């Protein structure tokens, strides 16, 4: 976040000077900051903590429940109706997670923290779905670049405060590879995706963003296999296929 911070500050400053700048209300400021903390501070903390106990492949699969959670948020909080196709999609998605989870459990029976790690990533998916559902409503009002910059600045503030209160400062000087990974994650895995997903949502909507994101679990499973040495097994492939099919149906529109 140290490496990502200058980019968000620059965009926030530029949008503030823009003649077409939309001034946010106090309530919009609260929503933007709250969503930023949910989507990129709390959810990241839960996700990274959970990754200590489960594989990256299973983590991505559980995390990919967030589109179905976003649908449920829209149903229960924003009173949107749910159609039969979406009910089938939800059932397929959770069946896929159960299938992959069962296969992973058989593979990793010796891990005493398997359920705890899975639960943390599950909570991460819930918090990220809150971010997606909320940003889908705020971005049309305030603009994609402005929303992303201020939401990520709020998240960065939360992360910095957390580090100052809880962290071991010596890790910064003692870990020689830390800064290289930090630069790569800050730019390639934080700045670029955060803006791309916001502009994508502005142009094609939250449901279509969720559909295209279906490449995520497959990509992670393949990369985890080749770069981290994680095994690929039958239940994982079947579960991933069911989850992606469910997400595709979740974003589908009836004729």
**Which tens digits make up the pLDDT trace of 234-246?**
887 888 888 778 7
Is pLDDT of 145 > 60? yes
DSSP per-residue codes, 4-41: THHHHHHHHHHHHH-TTPPPPPHHHHHHHHHHHIIIII
Is pLDDT of 151 > 90? yes
Predicted local confidence at residue 125, as pLDDT: 92
Confidence of residue 30 (pLDDT cuts 50, 70, 90): very high
How much is the mean pLDDT over the chain? 84
Is pLDDT of 109 > 90? no
pTM of the predicted structure, to 2 decimals: 0.80
More confident residue, 190 or 86: 190
Q: Are 10 and 152 in contact (CB under 8 A)?
A: no
List the structure tokens of 131: 């971010």
Q: pLDDT exceeding 90 applies to what percent of the chain? A: 31
User: What mean pLDDT is predicted for residues 111-118?
Assistant: 88
Name the range with the highest mean pLDDT among 64-68, 98-102, 124-128: 124-128
Predicted local confidence at residue 149, as pLDDT: 93
More confident residue, 16 or 13: 13
Exposed (0-12), middle (13-18) or buried (19+): which is 91, by Cβ within 10 Å? middle
Predicted local confidence at residue 252, as pLDDT: 56
Is pLDDT of 207 > 70? no
Residue ranges of alpha helices (H) inside the chain are 5-17, 26-36, 43-50, 56-63, 66-76, 84-107, 114-142, 144-166, 170-174, 178-186, 192-204, 206-212, 215-228, 234-250
- Rounded to whole angstroms, how far apart are CA atoms 129 and 168? 31
Confidence of residue 18 (pLDDT cuts 50, 70, 90): confident
User: What mean pLDDT is predicted for residues 148-174?
Assistant: 88
Is pLDDT of 208 > 80? no
- Rounded to whole angstroms, how far apart are CA atoms 3 and 83? 44
Confidence of residue 250 (pLDDT cuts 50, 70, 90): low
Name the range with the highest mean pLDDT among 59-63, 77-81, 179-183: 179-183
Predicted local confidence at residue 117, as pLDDT: 93
Confidence of residue 26 (pLDDT cuts 50, 70, 90): very high
List the structure tokens of 161: 């405060």
Q: Are 124 and 63 in contact (CB under 8 A)?
A: yes
């Amino acid at each position: 976040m140290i490496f990502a911070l200058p980019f968000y500050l620059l965009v926030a400053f530029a949008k503030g000077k823009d003649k077409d700048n939309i001034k946010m209300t106090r309530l919009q400021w609260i929503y933007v900051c709250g969503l930023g903390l949910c989507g990129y501070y709390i959810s990241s903390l839960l996700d990274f903590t959970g990754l200590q106990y489960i594989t990256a492949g299973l983590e991505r699969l559980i995390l990919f429940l967030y589109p179905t959670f976003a649908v449920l948020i829209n149903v229960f909080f924003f009173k949107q109706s749910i159609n039969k196709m979406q009910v089938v999609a939800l059932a397929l998605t959770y069946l896929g997670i159960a299938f992959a989870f069962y296969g992973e459990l058989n593979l990793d029976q010796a891990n005493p923290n398997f359920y705890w790690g899975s639960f943390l990533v599950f909570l991460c998916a819930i918090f990220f779905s809150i971010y997606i559902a909320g940003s889908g409503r705020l971005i049309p009002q305030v603009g994609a670049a402005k929303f992303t910059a201020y939401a990520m600045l709020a998240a960065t503030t939360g992360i910095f405060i957390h580090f100052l209160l809880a962290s071991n400062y010596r890790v910064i000087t003692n870990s020689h590879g830390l800064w290289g990974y930090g630069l790569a994650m800050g730019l390639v895995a934080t700045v670029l995706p955060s803006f791309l997903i916001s502009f994508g949502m502005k142009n094609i909507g939250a449901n279509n963003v969720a559909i295209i994101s279906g490449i995520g679990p497959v990509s992670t499973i393949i990369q985890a296999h080749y770069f981290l040495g994680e095994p690929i097994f039958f239940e994982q492939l079947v579960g991933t296929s069911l989850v992606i099919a469910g997400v595709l149906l979740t974003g589908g529109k009836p004729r």
